[in-house]
Amino acid sequence: MKKKVVLLGDSIRMLGYGGKVPEMLGDDYEVWQPEENCRFVKYTLRMLFDYHEQIKDADIIHWNNGLWDVSDLFNEGRLFSSDEEYIENMLRVASLLKQITPNVIFATTTPVAEDYPYNKNADIARRNEILVPLLQGMGFKINDLYSIAIQNLDKYICEDKIHPSAAGAAAYSAKVYEMIKSFE
CATH class of 3-179: alpha beta
Domain map (residue ranges) of the chain: 3-179
Residues 49-66: b if buried by 16+ CB within 10 A, e if exposed = eebeeebeebbbbbbbbb
Instruction: Name the H helices within 41-163.
Output: 41-50, 52-55, 83-100, 121-137, 145-150, 153-156
Q: Is the pLDDT of residue 10 over 90?
A: yes
pLDDT of residue 184: 87
Q: What does the pLDDT look like over 140-178, one tens digit per residue? A: 999 999 999 999 999 999 999 999 999 999 999 999 999
17-72 residue pLDDT tens: 999 999 999 999 999 999 999 999 999 999 999 999 999 999 999 999 999 999 99
Listed residue (18, 4, 2) closest to 107, CA to CA: 18
